Amino acid sequence: MRRYTRRETLTLSSAAVSASLLARPALAQGKGRVVVVGGGFGGAAAARRLKAIAPALDVVLVTDSDSFSTCPFSNLVVAGAMPLSEITFGYDGLRAAGVELRLGRVAEIDATGRAAILEGGDRIAFDRAIVSPGIDLKLDSLPGYGAAAVERMPHAWKAGAQTTLLRDQIAAMPAGGTFVMSVPNNPYRCPPGPYERASLVAHFLSRNNPTAKIVIVDGKDTFSKQALFVEGWNTLYPGMIAHVPFAENGGVLEVAPDALEVRTAFETFKGAVVNVIPPQSAAAFALASGLAGDGEWCPIDQATFESAHAPGVHVIGDAAIVGDMPKSGFSAAVQGAVCAHVVAAMLRGEDAPTGTLLNTCYSFVAPDYGISVAGEYRVNGEGRLKAVEGAGGVSPKGAGAEVRKAEANYARSWYANLTNRLFG
Amino acid sequence: MMFYARLSPREERRNAVTMLQRLPLLLFLCASPAVAAEGAAVAITYESCAVCHGGGGSEHGIPSLDGLGEDKLRERMTAFRDGTGGSTIMHRFMVGLDPAEIERLARHVADRTDAER
């Protein structure tokens, strides 16, 4: 005898729910307009998944560029291991899926008037908005740094021209030169990213400039996957990378672009090439729209992603405060997809669904040496998206080369699958 | 109730019996918010699976979940949960799910539609 499955019941019960809503024509048919702001992992996932699960909705994706270069894998570009073109994606796949693309920069989200206002004044009305604006770099928060200094001391913390600029500077570094990195305190985009960058630059230098050195001037004492990174550095690049924790540098006081120096409370670090990763905040228009209140990151209801300051506006990705989830492309893609379900349900007048969310941050210690940190998250009784105890965690220490190689392959597979799912 | 051609009499009988057996349960469960919430929850959870396993698979190793039946999916996830699945990462996720969640997730993945893919 074949047992009844819950799924079959669900189909029937949701049909019953839909029937009961037919008295409310627009909602029952799932009509309405959702404006998604931001064309990165979060925005693309939100727009594409929303159009797939609620095809009757008008989904408008506002993005300020007709292509997107991903921060994940951009350290492989810095290290000369792949071209920028391989991490750059257009939006034709989203268009073909029925998402309306609108090229422009959002100046403000008007939550009261339910509209996104573009620079230039155009208003795009919405029933709900999903805002995935990413970060802005606080270039002026570091004395001596600023917009004029980013050519001399690239940040390369938004992928694109900065990525290839840093790559070219490292490739042209004199023999035995020092590559200095200034890394901020938390929170910032991609917690393990600076250490992956140091690793992959070391990979490049060990083959092309083997007497060169790398110095990481850190704004904190410990960092993501630290034991695994250090194990890899000792194995692959012995003596090449020095990590100077906050306790040993006292904090960066200023940078000097002309002298290529990073000056800390205790010491001055001079580089042949200097990479300054500045402190960060949610994107400027999110701050200007009041989505961060008095702070620099956007607080949300962590079950629905709805802004604590702007009803009807959901904030996802690096700009939002999402409980224990890190600021990663993987997290943004998960949050975008989940937020699509939430918004579709809310527009139907139903309760927002909740479930389990996952994150994996893969890092390359070398192109064929991968490590990972994973997390599993659920909304707890206090409404916080909390890491599930006992789940998640990092790759094993002391694992063999075949395990590291497998994780490098899985990292590449993840990247290919996700970018294909969102942009293909 | 109408049955289409090519069902054997035995299959017809089984289908009819199954439908009748399901009715009381269906009526009960249609009114159950808990079941609706579980169904919604599993669709939410699957979105995280799809960030790695979606997108059609690739040459580098994360397997596509297409075409795996519910039983195979449940067996694999349970093995990962028990630490006998031979994985780099899946055991870190499955250990946080209980057997009922794994069962629902396996069913969802096996039965998902294109829009859910």
Q: Is B2 on the interface with A (CB under 8 A)?
A: no
| A residues 29-68 closer than 8 Å to B (CB) | 49, 52-53, 55
Q: Is B110 on the interface with A (CB under 8 A)?
A: no
Name residue A23's amino acid: A
Give exposure, A125-145, as e/b (b: 16+ Cβ within 10 Å).
ebbbbbbbbbbbbebeebebb
Which tens digits make up the pLDDT trace of A333-389? Answer: 999 999 999 999 999 999 999 999 999 999 999 999 999 999 999 999 999 999 999
Q: Is A393 on the interface with B (CB under 8 A)?
A: yes
Question: Does the beta-carbon distance from B93 to A376 stay under 8 Å?
Answer: yes
What is the arithmetic mean of pLDDT over A173-192? Answer: 98
Q: What are the distances in angstroms from CA A369 to CA A129, A200, A279, A364, A397?
A: 40, 10, 29, 6, 13
Question: Does the beta-carbon distance from A5 to B107 stay under 8 Å?
Answer: yes
Q: Is B11 on the interface with A (CB under 8 A)?
A: no
d(CA B72, CA A38): 39
Ordered strands of the A252-256 beta sheet: A252-256, A261-264, A268-270
Per the model's pLDDT, the better-predicted residue between A5 and A31 turns out to be A31
Query: Is the pLDDT assigned to residue B29 strictly greater than 90?
Result: no
Which tens digits make up the pLDDT trace of A279-326? Answer: 999 999 999 999 999 999 999 999 999 999 999 999 999 999 999 999
Question: Does the beta-carbon distance from A2 to B18 stay under 8 Å?
Answer: yes
Contacts of A324 (CB under 8 A, 6+ apart): A375, A377, A384, A385, A386, A387
ipTM for this model: 0.91
Q: Least CB-CB distance to B57: which of A16, A17, A417?
A: A417
- If one counts every other C-beta atom within 10 angstroms of the C-beta of residue A290, the result is 16
Name residue A342's amino acid: V
Q: Is A372 on the interface with B (CB under 8 A)?
A: yes
Q: How confident is the model at residue B33 (pLDDT cuts 50, 70, 90)?
A: low
Q: Least CB-CB distance to B39: which of A6, A376, A407?
A: A6
d(CA B8, CA B19): 17
Query: Is the pLDDT assigned to residue B27 strictly greater than 70?
Result: no
Strands (E), A16-57: 33-37
Chain B hits for A359, CB-CB cut-off 8 Å, are: 48
Name residue A247's amino acid: A
Per the model's pLDDT, the better-predicted residue between B70 and B7 turns out to be B70
Q: Is A20 on the interface with B (CB under 8 A)?
A: no
Q: Is A302 on the interface with B (CB under 8 A)?
A: no
Q: Least CB-CB distance to A341: which of B25, B37, B43?
A: B43
Which tens digits make up the pLDDT trace of A247-272? Answer: 999 999 999 999 999 999 999 999 99
Q: φ and ψ at B32, to 5 degrees?
A: -100, 105
Q: What are the distances in angstroms from CA A31 to CA A227, A345, A384, B115?
A: 51, 12, 31, 17
Name residue A16's amino acid: A
Question: Does the beta-carbon distance from A355 to B53 stay under 8 Å?
Answer: no
How near does any CA of chain B get to the CA of A59, in Å? 16
Please give the interface size between A and B, counted as residue pairs whose CB atoms are below 8 Å apart: 166
Q: Is B104 on the interface with A (CB under 8 A)?
A: yes
